Structure 1
C-alpha cells in the first residue's frame, strides 16, 4: 500500500459512495484490521454513520468482517484493501464485457449488480426486465424468462456467483446486521454451491413507467408483482465474480498480443486453448492444463477451415516463437500444448515498459532499454557499440534513464577496496521493480484525471444543473403531447454560448474518461504481472 494507492482509493470511494464512506474506508486502509469501537474512537464519527458506512462497504464487497482475534464472543473486526477498492475503476470494463458476450440483457444485469453490490436473482430479473421494456420502441415487453436465461448463462460461465452464507461474525455484531450477506472472499472450493442457480420459476413481463393516476389504478386492480419471497430465492444473494472477469481480460490481452505478433489464425488457436482450459486451470497457475493437438483440432471453430497439417505448422510456429506464449508439454496425442500464462504476462509487461520509454525518451533510448533487457548487464562502451549510438549521446541517454529509475547501475569491484579505477560499472534493467514503479505512476495519473474531471464538473455545476432541469421539462412536455412551439420555447432557455460551453465540457469529460480507461488497461497488465511474479 502506497500513498498514491490510498489517494486513488479515497477518490473512488468519495465519487461512488460519498465523503462519509470515504472517511471510514480510507481509515481502514491506513489502519488495517479494526473493531467498531476503535473505528468510532479514531474517526470521531457518530455510531450510526459508522455502522451505515460499514454496511455500504460490506454490501459492495469492499470491506470484509470476521470474528475477533481473541476468538468467539470478541468484537467483530473489519478490514479492507486497496485491491478491492481499485476494482471500482474497472466497472465500465466489466459492463462492456458483459454487453459484448451477452448483449444488452447481460450488460444491464452486471450493471445492476455492480450498482447494488448484492441482489437476489428475482429482484435482478424484475429490475432489468423493467429497464429493457422502457427502452423498447416497438411497444413490446421483455419476458422475465429471457432475462432469467441470460442470468443463468452468466452464472454458468462463472461471471456471477452466489454470496457466501452469513458468517458467524455477522451474528455477533449489530453493526453488520443490515448487510444481506457475508464478505465476498469465499472461494468456490470452500463454497460448493457458488455457481448453483436455485430452482425459481419467474413468470411475467417488464412494465413501462406509468403516470401517477395509472399507477394508482394498477395497484388497486392488479395483483402484486414479482416478489423474491414468493419465488424460493429468499436469502440467496448474487454478486459479480471479479476474478473471473480478470481472467477473461488476461486471456484477451494474450490473444490480442498473439494476433499482433503473428496473425489472426494463430490468435484463434490460442483462444481455443484458453477457452478449453478456463474452467480447469487455477487462477494462479503458471500455465494452462496440457491439451493434445487432436483435442485442439476438434475444438477449433469450423468457420476457420484449418486442416490438421496446417494446425501442426501453426503450433510449431507458436512453440518456436521467442515470446513463448505457447509451450510443448509432451508428445502424446500429436503433442501436448500449454499456454505459458506467467511468461506471457511478463512479456506483455516488458512490451509496456518498452513503449513507455519510447514515448517519453525517444526511439534511441528505447533501443538502449531493449538492449539492456536482452543482454542483462553491459558496460557503457558495450552499450555504445551494440546500440550503434555515438558515445556522447549514449552517455546522456543512459544517465537520463538512470535518473528516472528505469535503468540501474551495478558495481562489480575487482578488489575489496572498491576503487573506481578497479571497478566494473554495469548497466542493467530490473523488470519487476521498474514495473512496480510504473504502476505507482499509473495510480497517480488516474487520481489526477479523476480530480481534473471533478474540478471541471464543479466549475460548470450551475450550467449542468440548468441543462438537467431543461431536459426534465422537455421530457415531461413530450410525454404529455405538448405543441412544438412550447418545446422550442423551452429549448431556447439555453443560449448559444451556454450550448457551446456544455459541448466543450462534455468533450473534456469524455476525453478524461477515455484516458482513465486506457490507463486502467496498463494498470491491469502491470498488476497481473506483479501478482504472477509473487505467486510463482
Structure 2
C-alpha cells in the first residue's frame, strides 16, 4: 500500500478513535498482518490497551482476523477500503433520509456510531432521540416497519457469527440468513421508553446488524451514471437510463459487467404509466437512438424484434467516466494545450513525438515540453521499438501511449494525498481556534438549558451577549472555512468512487 494511503487511514482512525487506536492502525499498515504479541511489542503499549483497540477496530469492521498456521493465534489485518469509507458515511445517511425519512436516518446513525447493534436497541434509541430532540413520539410498530424496510432493501445486514467454540472464531453467515427479519417485543420497548422497565431483555439481543456498503455503492453508482447522462444530454435521457438500470436488476446481479437484454418496449410502457415526462413519451425512440449512437457506447442494441432489446455496458460506462475524470485533471493541472495532447494520445493509442505537434497544432518546442511534462508526471508512458534496417543497423522508435489503469492508480494516490491534506487543515482549524469553539459550544448548551426551563428573552439575550461581535466574526470565518473543506472532501470522495469503480470492473 502507498505511503499516502497509509497516512490517510491513520488520520481517519485518529479522528474517530484517538491516538492509541491510531498507533495500532499505523503498526498494521507498516508491518502488515500481525498477531497480538507482535503488535504489543511493536507499539510498546500495555497489552490491555492493545486488546481494547483491536476490539474497537474489529467492532467497526476496520480490522479482520483469521487463524494462523497452528489455528490457535489470530493474525490481524487492516482493512483499508473500509477505513476510507468513514468519509462516505454522511452520504449514506443523506441517501437513507431521502428514501425513507428522518426516522431511518436516526436508525442508520445509531448503527454507524455503534459499529453494529440489535434491532430492539436501535428502535429504543431512535424513539428516545425523537422525543428529546424533536418532541415527536412515533409508534414502535411504525419504527419497526421502517427498520424492516432497510432490511428488505438490503441497506443493512446481519453480522456474521461463529457458533463453535474455537480459539480463533471464524464468523460466517449465508446469503439467505443475512436478511431474515427478527421478531421483537413492542411491549418491552414501550415499557422501557415509559421508564417502567429499566433493565429489559430483548428477544433479539444476539442478532446484530451493520450497514451493507455494497448496497449503498450500488445506489451511488447508479446516481453517477444517471447524472452523467443528464449532463451530457438532458433529464429525459437520464430518466431512460434510470429505468433501464431498474429493469437490469430484475434480470442480473447488481455488479455484472453488462446486463442481459432489456426489451425497450418495457421501458416505454413504464415511462408512459409514470405520466411525468410527456416529451419523453412523444420522442422516446429518438432519445433511445441518440443515447445508443453516442460514441460512449453506454447502451448496446441486441436484436430487432418488437423494437429490439438493449444492454447496459457498466464496464464501458466507468471506463468513459475514468477517462473524462483524468482528462479534467490534466486540464486543470497543466492547461488546455496539455489536455489537447492528452486527448490526441488517447485517440491515437500510440503516436510518435514528432507527430504530436503536427496533429495537435502546437509549436514543436512547446508540444515537446508539454509531452515530456505529462510523461514526468506519469500521465503518459513511452514505448520504445527497434526496427531492423536493411544494412544490419537498427533504429529506435519512441511512441507515446496511455496506460489508463496505471494512470488511475496514480491519480487515486494523489486523491489520498489531497484528502489527507484537507483533513490536516481541518484539524488545524479546530486546534488553532479551540478556545473560541469550546466557548461557543458552552454558550449554545447553556442557551438550550435555559430555554427548556422557560427563561425570559432578556436572560437569553444576556447569554448570547457572552460572545462578542469580533468573536462572532471569527466564528463565521471558521465555519466558512470548514464548509469549504467539507465540500472539497466530498468532491474528492466522488472522484475516488469513480476511479475505484473503474478498477473494480477492470479487475474482474
| TM-score bracket for the superposition, by shorter chain length | over 0.9
Do the aligned partners of 1:141 and 1:205 also contact (CA within 8 Å) in 2?
no
In terms of mean alpha carbon deviation, does 476-485 or 109-118 score higher? Answer: 476-485
- Corresponding position of 1:485: 458
Please state if 1:142 is matched with 2:138: yes
Do the aligned partners of 1:66 and 1:77 also contact (CA within 8 Å) in 2?
yes
Structure 2: how far apart are the matches of 1:416 and 1:452?
Answer: 59
Please state if 1:254 is matched with 2:249: no
**Higher relative contact order, structure no. (Cα contacts within 8 Å, ≥ 6 residues apart):** 1
Structure 1: how far apart are the matches of 2:475 and 2:191?
Answer: 34
**Cα offset for 1:488?**
2.2
Structure 1: how far apart are the matches of 2:291 and 2:473?
Answer: 53
Structure 1: how far apart are the matches of 2:139 and 2:190?
Answer: 6
SS at match of 1:425: strand
**Cα offset for 1:43?**
2.1
- Corresponding position of 1:91: 89
Do the aligned partners of 2:389 and 2:395 also contact (CA within 8 Å) in 1?
no
- Corresponding position of 2:22: 22
Structure 2: how far apart are the matches of 1:385 and 1:281?
Answer: 47
Please state if 1:234 is matched with 2:205: yes
Aligned partner (choices 405, 410, 414) of residue 437 of structure 1: 410
- Corresponding position of 1:156: 152
Do the aligned partners of 2:120 and 2:189 also contact (CA within 8 Å) in 1?
no
Structure 2: how far apart are the matches of 1:123 and 1:257?
Answer: 40
**Cα offset for 1:435?**
1.0
For structure 2, list consecutive stretches of 5 or more residues without a partner in the other structure.
none
CA distance 1:493–1:406, change in 2 (3 Å): same
Do the aligned partners of 2:62 and 2:82 also contact (CA within 8 Å) in 1?
yes
Structural mapping, 1:12-91, within 5 Å: 12-71=12-71, 74-91=72-89
The alignment yields a C-alpha RMSD, in angstroms, of: 2.7
CA distance 1:416–1:96, change in 2 (3 Å): farther
Provide Cα deviations, 1:224-270, integer angstroms capped at 9, x if missing partner: 1794x34x322111111001111111111111111112222221111
Do the aligned partners of 1:133 and 1:206 also contact (CA within 8 Å) in 2?
no
Aligned partner (choices 157, 161, 165) of residue 165 of structure 1: 161
**Cα offset for 1:117?**
0.8
In terms of mean alpha carbon deviation, does 76-85 or 88-97 score higher? Answer: 76-85
Structural mapping, 1:194-343, within 5 Å: 194-202=178-186, 219=195, 223-224=196-197, 227=200, 229-230=201-202, 232-278=203-249, 281-300=252-271, 301-305=274-278, 310-331=283-304, 334-343=307-316
**Cα offset for 1:478?**
1.5
Provide Cα deviations, 1:494-514, integer angstroms capped at 9, x if missing partner: 222111111111111111111
**Cα offset for 1:339?**
1.0
TM-score, structure 2 as length reference: 0.92
CA distance 1:164–1:422, change in 2 (3 Å): same
Please state if 1:101 is matched with 2:74: no
**Cα offset for 1:431?**
1.2
- Corresponding position of 2:176: 192
Structural mapping, 1:518-529, within 5 Å: 518-529=491-502
In terms of mean alpha carbon deviation, does 374-383 or 291-300 score higher? Answer: 291-300
**Cα offset for 1:333?**
5.3
SS at match of 1:14: helix
SS at match of 1:422: strand
Structure 2: how far apart are the matches of 1:452 and 1:85?
Answer: 19
Do the aligned partners of 1:160 and 1:240 also contact (CA within 8 Å) in 2?
yes
- Corresponding position of 1:403: 376
SS at match of 2:276: helix
Provide Cα deviations, 1:403-426, integer angstroms capped at 9, x if missing partner: 211122222222399x99932222
Aligned partner (choices 317, 320, 328) of residue 355 of structure 1: 328
Do the aligned partners of 1:414 and 1:422 also contact (CA within 8 Å) in 2?
yes
Structure 2: how far apart are the matches of 1:206 and 1:234?
Answer: 17
Structure 2: how far apart are the matches of 1:59 and 1:319?
Answer: 47
Provide Cα deviations, 1:503-533, integer angstroms capped at 9, x if missing partner: 1111111111111111111011111111221
Structure 2: how far apart are the matches of 1:146 and 1:519?
Answer: 37
CA distance 1:309–1:507, change in 2 (3 Å): closer
CA distance 1:307–1:372, change in 2 (3 Å): closer
Structure 1: how far apart are the matches of 2:95 and 2:58?
Answer: 25
Do the aligned partners of 1:129 and 1:205 also contact (CA within 8 Å) in 2?
no
Do the aligned partners of 1:130 and 1:142 also contact (CA within 8 Å) in 2?
no
CA distance 1:163–1:306, change in 2 (3 Å): farther
Do the aligned partners of 1:75 and 1:172 also contact (CA within 8 Å) in 2?
yes
CA distance 1:374–1:515, change in 2 (3 Å): same
Provide Cα deviations, 1:137-194, integer angstroms capped at 9, x if missing partner: xx5412222222221112111111111123647x525xx8xxxxx76xx67xx33111
Do the aligned partners of 2:66 and 2:76 also contact (CA within 8 Å) in 1?
yes
TM-score, structure 1 as length reference: 0.87
For structure 1, list consecutive stretches of 5 or more residues without a partner in the other structure.
177-181, 209-214
Structural mapping, 1:459-474, within 5 Å: 459-474=432-447
**Cα offset for 1:7?**
0.4
CA distance 1:425–1:68, change in 2 (3 Å): closer
